[in-house]
Structure 1
Amino acid sequence: MIRIHHLNCGTCCPIGGRLFDGYSRGLSAHLVCHCLLIETDAGLVLIDTGYGAQDVSRPRERLSNFFRALNRPQLRPDETALAQVRRLGFEPADVRHIVVTHLDFDHASGIEDFPNARIHVTAREKEVADQRRGGAFVSRKRYRPQQWDEAMNWSLYPLGGGERWFGFDAVRDLEGLPPEILLVPLAGHTWGHAGIAIREDDGRWLFYAGDAYFHHAEIDGENRTCPPGLRGYQRLMQVDAHARMANQRRVRALSSDHGDRVRIFCAHDLTEFEALTRHSIT
């Protein structure tokens, strides 16, 4: 039996309003860093970490000036995964596993807040992030090795050779975790980017697509759309446009063909986060 908590581990307010997020009326847009905390028999499992406690206290050392200016993260202490884990009545040591979609600064910054956790990520992502490769300028800014260089317990997974899940290749059961949690490679945004599939107790699935898309309307069948600010940001961050768009089409097909069995959400869409938060409470 598992229990899932939806956490916003970082609010970002880039300039652009509705041109960036599709709905904000003011000058600033509002994006979230959607993370999950899962209670399992193997202990707590954190899916992505958002911004960490050290980013809040030492942002200039931990984050690039470029992305701080572009994304305008609010860096609130109460939004860190560390603070929210404690608010739910747990201790940091209770987090035994962290599964990251990729190692971008806004997805992996809290790794060192949970020193007892094993980190699960694709081997390709760890290799590229350690070397800060994959797009010369962006890679020097997006990957911040100081955010995870003290973490010693890593489980790395190849991009191919696993079982199939709703037509997706290369899904891997994760070491030490229940089979209800799967890693689904979705390259394009980064070379080793992946989604995370979680089977709920009723047999249906949650699919956290990470940064495979950024706006809920991008997977809305024939009526798909994306605000221009987010469209430009995705292009800025992509390492392989063909792979990113191909995987986005596959996620869209998953939504249209299996929407009754799989609920899909991405990392930064406030609308999806609020809907899932309400759903988890009811």
Structure 2
Amino acid sequence: MSDWQVHAVKYADRNARTRADSFIFDDNHDAPHAMDYFIWVLQRGDEIILVDTGYDTTEATVRDRPIRIDPAEALAPLGIAPGDITTLIVTHLHYDHAGGLHLFPNATIHLQAAEMAYATGPCMCRDTLRMPFTADHVCEAIKRVYSGRCVFHDGDGQIADGVTVHCLGGHSRGLQAVRVRTSAGWLCLASDAAHFYENVFSRKPFPIVVDLEDMLEGFDRLQGLASAPQMIIPGHDPLVMSHFPQDKTDYIVRLDRGPETWNFSS
């Protein structure tokens, strides 16, 4: 079968952050450190797979984290309408990755069983662990289960030819990365298994963590899933927008041909 095209679609950013918000161990903890927010689109002929949904204007208001463009509208330059999405990989159920499930009503979601158990289990009684989740988003995922439109995976799983998911945990109990076959080799969409290049390549854990050992082991696993280090795509790093070529518009970059430039430190 042919290879996949992969696009990163940036729908939001947050600049009022410091390196202390991104790394547990960092000597320069007061320095500014911006974060971008993405969803990802896989295309091969008429096949479309969406990876994550972002969050909508309602969630943006509640959390005081504005978005630049509604994730459903952001797909228009790629010729995709929300109703076209029938396969949706949810890397985990945090608000910024599953906060737009309702925007894609025709989609069957692919989710790790461990993530659903975590997001609906005793850990959610603890404020610190519950903070990245929003109950309405989790309930929307549950509705997909009851309507027969949720496929659960337990560890590694295949979504389509050339597209697999891999449970890494760490940041959330059932966090999964996505491995995609491209013309430049195996691309790994790390999602929040590595928010930034520095997380994985400097082995600096992200502060929101359920299991630190799983997070550190996940950094190693990411490097095994990708054909080369530059084919690991972190979930929130603004450097992605500068390393990869723009396509269609200024908030979309194409990933499947590899980066034009690459370094992992800002």
Q: Same fold (TM over 0.5)?
A: yes
Task: Quote the residue 1:4 is aligned against.
Answer: 6
Q: Which amino acid aligns with 1:194?
A: Q
User: Judging changes above 3 Å, is the alpha-carbon distance between structure 1 residues 96 and 248 closer, same or farther for their aligned structure 2 residues?
Assistant: same
Q: Which amino acid aligns with 2:75?
A: V
TM-score under structure 1 length normalisation: 0.73
Match of 1:214 among 190, 195, 204: 195
| Helix, strand or coil at the partner of 1:32 | strand
Question: Would you identify which runs of 4 or more consecutive aligned residues in structure 1 move more than 4 Å?
Answer: 18-22, 252-255
What is the deviation of 1:98? 1.1
Task: Quote the residue 1:168 is aligned against.
Answer: none
* Corresponding position: 1:186 with 2:168: yes
RMSD (CA atoms)? 2.9
C-alpha distance in 2 between matches for 1:42 and 1:149: 30
**Percentage of pairs with the same residue:** 20
Task: Quote the residue 1:127 is aligned against.
Answer: 117
What is the deviation of 1:110? 1.1
Match of 1:104 among 85, 91, 94: 94
Task: Quote the residue 1:197 is aligned against.
Answer: 179
C-alpha distance in 2 between matches for 1:3 and 1:252: 21
Count residues in correspondence. Answer: 236
Match of 1:116 among 106, 112, 116: 106
What is the deviation of 1:42? 6.1
C-alpha distance in 2 between matches for 1:117 and 1:53: 20
What is the deviation of 1:53? 4.5
* Corresponding position: 1:173 with 2:166: no
Q: State whether residues 134 and 191 of structure 1, in contact with CA within 8 Å, keep that contact through their aligned partners in structure 2.
A: no
User: Greater strand share, 1 or 2?
Assistant: 2
C-alpha distance in 1 between matches for 2:73 and 2:176: 26
C-alpha distance in 2 between matches for 1:244 and 1:219: 9
* Corresponding position: 1:264 with 2:246: no
What is the deviation of 1:218? 3.5
Task: Quote the residue 1:165 is aligned against.
Answer: none
Q: State whether residues 132 and 139 of structure 1, in contact with CA within 8 Å, keep that contact through their aligned partners in structure 2.
A: no
Task: Quote the residue 1:280 is aligned against.
Answer: 254
* Corresponding position: 1:158 with 2:154: yes
* Corresponding position: 1:242 with 2:246: no
Q: State whether residues 216 and 272 of structure 1, in contact with CA within 8 Å, keep that contact through their aligned partners in structure 2.
A: no
TM-score under structure 2 length normalisation: 0.77
Task: Quote the residue 2:38 is aligned against.
Answer: 34
Task: Quote the residue 1:51 is aligned against.
Answer: 55
C-alpha distance in 2 between matches for 1:99 and 1:93: 15
Unaligned runs of 5+ in 1: 160-170
| Helix, strand or coil at the partner of 2:36 | coil
C-alpha distance in 2 between matches for 1:98 and 1:241: 28
